[in-house]
């Protein structure tokens, strides 16, 4: 089977990741480039490794996480579905097995809460948890703080973001350190509540519970 390393080195993939980030920057979104997808791949891998999944599923989860946002190269709307179809073409040309491609497509096509995404498989669940956990000030591209919208404020306020999976307690914890000078904690829930619900469902798919800890206080 193909590996994440091969996917990262593929010139088409590099162009798609760059184009997706460029488009989203133009329409005012936070960073969705190589930093974001690289972190998502790392976290998706760590989740399934910790829970003892097979090497094949772990690799496919990392690949799906790395490719999950390439549909943004076309448009933000329905980017999960367009991204899945782009991944089909790219991975097929790379020589991946169709059975593996379909698993990656399903994970990409179900990662977005605004597009009726569901953690239908363990791979999809890992991608959801990895993607929705990436909140951090390094994602903010707007340099002028006076022009921050609520998404900029919330991301900029997050000084530290960590996702940990405990294989013994079967708890997946998103731990955030938020500087409340830039954003009230309530604003986090205002824009990310659907994400937290989706993460809870994803953790359940993996036989785990989801916890959210903000500034050392358990919120969920």
Asked whether residue 188 carries a pLDDT value surpassing 90, the answer given is yes
Q: What is the pLDDT of residue 148?
A: 95
Instruction: Look up the CATH number of the domain holding residue 171.
Output: 1.10.3210
Paired tokens of 147: 């022009």
Q: What is the pLDDT of residue 103?
A: 98
Asked whether residue 115 carries a pLDDT value surpassing 90, the answer given is no
Q: How would residue 47 be classed by pLDDT, with cut points 50, 70 and 90? A: very high
Is residue 40 within 8 Å of 131, Cβ to Cβ? yes
Q: What is the pLDDT of residue 176?
A: 98
Q: Which domain holds residue 154?
A: 4-218
CA distance 172 to 160: 17
Phi-psi category of residue 78: left, alpha or beta, with phi > 0 → left and psi -120 to 50 → alpha: left
Give residues with Cβ within 8 angstroms of 171, minimum separation 6: 165, 208, 209, 210, 211
Burial of 166 by CB count in 10 Å (0-12 exposed, 13-18 middle, 19+ buried)? middle
Q: How many domains does the chain have?
A: 1
CA distance 161 to 20: 23
Q: How would residue 110 be classed by pLDDT, with cut points 50, 70 and 90? A: very high
Asked whether residue 44 carries a pLDDT value surpassing 90, the answer given is yes
Asked whether residue 49 carries a pLDDT value surpassing 90, the answer given is yes
Q: How would residue 162 be classed by pLDDT, with cut points 50, 70 and 90? A: very high
Average pLDDT value for the chain: 97
DSSP state for residue 162 in the 8-state scheme: E
CA distance 124 to 44: 9
Could you give the residue ranges of the DSSP H alpha helices within 110-182?
122-132, 150-157
Instruction: Please report, rounded to a whole number, the percentage of residues in the chain having pLDDT higher than 70.
Output: 100
């Amino acid at each position: 089977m193909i590996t994440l390393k091969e996917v990262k080195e593929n010139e088409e993939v590099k162009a798609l990741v760059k184009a997706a980030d460029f488009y989203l920057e133009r329409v005012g979104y936070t960073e969705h480039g190589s930093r974001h997808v690289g972190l998502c791949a790392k976290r998706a891998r760590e989740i399934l490794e910790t829970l003892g999944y097979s090497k094949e599923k772990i690799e496919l989860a990392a690949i799906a996480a790395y490719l999950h946002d390439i549909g943004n190269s076309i448009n933000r709307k329905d980017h999960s579905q367009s991204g899945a179809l782009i991944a089909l073409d790219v991975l097929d040309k790379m020589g991946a097995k169709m059975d593996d491609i379909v698993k990656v497509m399903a994970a990409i096509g179900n990662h977005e809460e605004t597009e009726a995404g569901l953690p239908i498989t363990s791979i999809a669940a890992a991608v959801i948890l990895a993607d929705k956990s990436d909140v951090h000030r390094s994602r903010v591209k707007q340099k002028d703080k006076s022009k921050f919208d609520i998404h900029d404020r919330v991301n900029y306020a997050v000084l530290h973001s960590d996702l940990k999976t405990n294989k013994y307690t079967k708890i997946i914890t998103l731990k955030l350190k938020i500087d409340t000078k830039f954003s009230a904690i309530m604003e986090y829930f205002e824009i990310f509540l659907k994400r937290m619900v989706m993460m809870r469902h994803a953790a359940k798919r993996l036989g785990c519970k989801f916890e959210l800890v903000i500034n050392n206080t358990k919120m969920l």
